[in-house]
Structure formats: structure tokens, C-alpha cells
A and B are shown apart, each in its own frame.
Chain A
């Protein structure tokens, strides 16, 4: 029997498995229509992130007079070192932008990394990470990224290694309740208690929650608001806390839940006013660079997302 479906060729468009096929087809259609240098942000594109240093926390008051804590993140010569495109066995594509930050002395950099950085034309760096993007969001290699990449009022995810807490017991590590403080409990007030059943299964299940090393692992804090951007010192002020110690390297990217996902879903539904958070017009695309920062004002602050004054009682 002739298999008629095998004669025709399926439409081949690059498939990025991380994103739904419609996302990638829309994004590549944009690439083909517009030239690479003047690409604009679309609701289906995913742009690169940045690497910054967590400098500390302070406090700010918004235009209503409400106090909120902020974390100060500073970019330390964050540059693009590579644009990655990998075609998998099933012809789907993985696109990413590799970003490096924090200059490192030449004598402390290995020969292999020196070669990698000289190929990109950037000074040697301490940290190199990549951010998955859509094919239209590639950034020219060697571009210095700036704090103006993020727009005050938008949401970001911040990823960093959490504070190490050392070897910790089950109460701190797994929120176990421990045992009573009195009524005959002897010498085991913070112990884990029983760790299994009896003869059946006659062993301890693999993965049983027990005491061990806590902290020092990669943590993502989601949906933090960018409150202020200072481009002269490359500072991003983010509302809330961020994992890690002061001066730790953190990765910042557009929030997956409140930016990327919402933009895609709302544009698919046709609700174009809800694509970006209130007040935002568009995002720097493919990235906010040092050149763009010179054209923009040095300090940009987002007003409060609240509409009404919380200190004035409602009728």
C-alpha cells in the first residue's frame, strides 16, 4: 500500500523543545520578516537575562509613602560571550545567549577559558552562564549589557546559590515537629523519631528525609518587582529578598510566570493591554546595552502598583 503521507514534506521550521511550537514559529517568522539588527520585542519572544552581584539590602518609600524593602543588584561588566544554537536528534533547536560577568585577572584564568574569552573578544570573567531564548533574541557577541535591560515596573526571577547552613537536623531541614518538651521524653526532643515501618518493607525507603547539609543550592525567587534602575552605577533595585550572601553572583531574567507566560497567553487571547504589566510599553530587545543606557535618563523609578492611597480610608 502506498503511503501517501510520506511523499509530501512536512513544513520544516526550527523547533525549540523548551517552548511550544507556536512560540518558536511566531518568533522565527518575526526574524525572517525583520532584519537581525532591528528586532523588536513581541509577546512570544523570550529575551536574555543578566548576571549581577547582590550588594545588599536597603529600604525605600514609594510615592504613597509606603515602606518596602529592596535588594540592590549591581552589574559588573556583564557581556555576551556566545550565541548558542543546538539542533537535537529530533530536529528541534535549543537557542541560548551565553553571558559572562565580573572581570578576572589574566593570571588566574585557565588557558582554556582564556581562549574562549579571546574568541568572544571580552576580558576574562569569573562567571559564565547561559539563558535560553527564542531565535530572534540573540545578541551580538561582545555586547556589554546594562541595567536598563530591565524596565522599572516589570517582574523578574532572581536565581542564586542560597546561604549555606551546614549540617542541619530534620526540624530545620524538613520542618519535622520533633518530640515533646516534657512528659517523659528522654534525650530526643529534636530527633526525627521513627524512620520506617516494621518487617514489611524491612528497610528504609530511599530518599527518606533525614538530617544533612542544608543550603548552598540553587534557588529561584520568582516575580520580584524591579523598582528602580540607576544606569550610571549599573544598579537594579528589586523589591524583596534575593537568595545568597552579599556580593554573590545572581542571575536575573524576566519572570517566567508574570512576564513571559502572561505575555504569550494574553496575546493569544487577544487581550493586548494585559500583555505587559501596567504602564509598560515595550521591553528593550534583544537586550538593554551600554549604548542604549547613554540615550536614556540615568535614574528611572517605577511608581507604586497601588492605585489608591493606603493611608486615606475608603468611604
Chain B
């Protein structure tokens, strides 16, 4: 009975003045005030434009830092700390690789916890990911984090088989 009351209030709050009569649970919003270019209605440049429409400015900024051309881009081999809403709430690890797919961009972090290698892949634009902090940057021009060694590869999967190199990176951290 109390649950149904809660659901009732949630539904009422979702469509405050009932502007959309075809669904009682749909959420309505206004699109961001960007100039609608002529070609968009014909599909020209639609998908890159949709990335800006579907993501918040903070997420777009974070995406750009994992891009290829940002002046302070994050390179593989850096040590990152990712804070997320759900478990693991704070995970630190070496960036093994960046999977660039626009809004679906994800990063793979590896750490050795209690003598067990743990890898976590975080979707950068996910609402679960709150913050990404660079603890050590692997080369590149940046102000955040300590300076570390530049890696000569885009994907550092060889680190899975060399625990000594992993310990070397963690020693460089301390």
C-alpha cells in the first residue's frame, strides 16, 4: 500500500504538468540550445552532433582527455584513480588501453590487489563514473600527477605477463 503510494508520487513527479498525454511515465525535456544546422535534418554530421546532445559537458570534457589530440591527453601507462557510484567505488590502476568508440569509449585499468591481478573496464561516459584522477602520467604534457615513463605501445597487454614491470610502475608511484 505504501509502495503504491510511493510509485504514485513518482509518476506524478515525472510528468509535472502532463505535457505528454501518450505515456504516464515518460520523461520530457528540451534539447540543448545549439543551432540546428541545415544538413542535420538530412543526416549530414548527425552522429557526431548527437554525441554532444546526449552527453553532458563534463562527460564531453572527460571524453576529450581520452581522445587522440587533446593537449593534455591521458596516455596508456598512466596510473589513474576512478571514483564510481557503485562498487568498486574507488579503483586505482595502470591504464592498459583506451577503447575509443565515441560515447562508448572505455578504459581498462589493471592493479594487483592481495597478489591477485584485477582488471576493470570503465565506460567513461557512464553515469556511474564520477571522476577520473591522474596519479601518474606516462609522458605527455600535463599538469596532473607525477611524471612517469612514456610507453611505446597503445595497448599494454604485455603487463599481464610481467609482474616485475607492474611493480616497477607501482614503485615509481611511491
Contacts and interface: CB of A to CB of B under 8 A. Distances in A.
Interface of A: 53, 55-56, 58-61, 63, 65, 67, 72, 74, 76, 151-153, 230, 232-235, 247, 278-284, 296-303, 311
B47 interface: yes
Interface stretch (B19-27, B107-115, B133-141, B158-166): B19-27
Given A74-B43, A299-B31, A301-B29, 7 more contacts: A61-B127, A76-B41, A151-B22, A234-B41, A280-B22, A280-B23, A300-B26
Given A298-B30, A303-B14, A61 B126 contact: yes
Contact of A58 (B43, B103, B123): B103
Interface in B6-29: 14, 19-29
25 contacts: A53-B43, A55-B46, A55-B47, A58-B104, A59-B104, A59-B123, A72-B47, A152-B23, A153-B25, A233-B40, A233-B46, A247-B43, A278-B25, A279-B23, A281-B21, A281-B23, A283-B22, A296-B20, A299-B28, A299-B30, A300-B26, A300-B28, A302-B23, A303-B26, A311-B85
Nearest to B102: A58
A280 B27 CA distance: 12
Nearest to A234: B41
A56 B46 CA distance: 9
Interface of B: 14, 19-31, 36, 40-43, 46-47, 50-51, 53-54, 85-86, 101-104, 123, 125-128
A300 B36 CA distance: 18
B50 to A, nearest CB: 6
A61 B14 CA distance: 18
A303 B26 CA distance: 6
A297 B25 contact: no
Contacts of A74: 41, 43, 46
A65 B127 contact: yes
Nearest to B51: A58
A298 to B, nearest CB: 5
A151 B125 CA distance: 26
A76 B127 contact: no
Contact of B26 (A151, A233, A283): A151
Contact of A300 (B20, B51, B128): B20
